[in-house]
């Protein structure tokens, strides 16, 4: 595997040839594919817990890999799918050195990493993810697609199209920000904290879909004075 990847140029473990152009599903190996939107998951995690994520509050990629592989079933069974997991990330040049260890850790857990320089504030990795999913729908018979992202703007329509075509589509994200998947009649939704072992300790959050019977307080994620100051500044411009 090369250190710089284009979506789709590498092959899943055990796959010999991804060039089959036959009819859909014919002569192509079955595949379970996981794609992880690193910027989106990190940003939404910060919003959910109201603080900058730390090593203790970030998801455990090894536990998620185990959960994903377990969902693919017995690898020795007839027709068992290949498995592939990919993390997509924008890399700000000033953080390239500090992110190197994170990337190497991901690769050691069995994930391929597609990394692209982040040169503009609005740079997005979503199209690279969609391109890779498209490549895999042609090189394989895509049995299950697991998407770690709460961004429905770019993913809702193509994911529902895949589900209509017979692919099992699962979105894993935080319930606070994944309304598109929760409300879809075609996509299965799983809260990331419900993946066994995904976090070393429970996150400091209150889920509206799992409230205690007596209710719960949701603390502000920004100070009242800071929020009021921002409003005043906008009004005065």
pLDDT digits (tens, 9 = 90+) for 107-126: 999 999 999 887 776 667 89
CATH of 30-205 among 2.30.42.10, 3.40.50.1010, 3.40.1260.10, 3.40.50.880? 3.40.50.1010
The confidence score (pLDDT) of residue 16 equals 42
pLDDT at 19 over 70: no
Q: Is the pTM of this model over 0.95?
A: no
Asked if 137 and 112 count as a contact pair (C-beta separation under 8 A), the reply is: no
Residue 17 — very low, low, confident or very high, per pLDDT cuts 50/70/90?
very low
- Mean per-residue pLDDT over the chain, rounded: 86
Q: What whole-number distance in Å separates Cα of residue 120 and Cα of residue 107?
A: 26
Asked if 111 and 87 count as a contact pair (C-beta separation under 8 A), the reply is: yes
Asked if 205 and 186 count as a contact pair (C-beta separation under 8 A), the reply is: no
pLDDT in tens, 134-187: 999 999 999 999 999 988 888 999 999 999 999 999 999 999 888 999 999 999
The confidence score (pLDDT) of residue 144 equals 98
Close Cβ partners of 56 (under 8 Å, ≥ 6 residues apart)? 200, 201
């Amino acid at each position: 595997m090369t250190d710089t990847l284009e979506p789709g140029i590498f092959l899943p473990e055990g796959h010999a040839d991804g060039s089959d152009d036959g009819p859909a599903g014919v002569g192509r190996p079955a595949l379970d594919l996981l794609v992880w939107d690193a910027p989106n998951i990190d940003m939404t995690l910060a919003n959910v817990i109201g603080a900058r994520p730390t090593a203790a509050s970030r998801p455990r990629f090894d536990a998620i890999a185990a959960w994903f592989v377990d969902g693919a079933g017995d690898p020795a069974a007839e027709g068992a799918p290949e498995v592939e997991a990919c993390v997509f990330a924008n890399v700000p040049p000033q953080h390239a050195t500090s992110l190197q260890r994170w990337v190497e850790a991901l690769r050691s857990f069995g994930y391929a990493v597609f990394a692209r320089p982040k040169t503009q504030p609005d740079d997005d990795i979503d199209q690279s993810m969609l391109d890779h999913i498209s490549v895999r729908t042609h090189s394989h018979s895509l049995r299950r697609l697991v998407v770690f992202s709460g961004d429905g703007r770019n993913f809702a329509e193509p994911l529902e199209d895949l589900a209509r075509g017979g692919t099992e589509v699962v979105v894993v994200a935080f319930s606070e920000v994944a309304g598109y998947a929760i409300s879809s009649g075609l996509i299965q939704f799983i809260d990331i904290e419900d993946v066994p072992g995904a976090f070393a300790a429970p996150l400091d959050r209150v889920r509206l879909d799992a409230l205690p019977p007596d209710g719960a307080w949701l603390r502000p994620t920004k100070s009242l004075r800071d929020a009021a100051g921002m409003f005043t500044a906008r009004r005065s411009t």
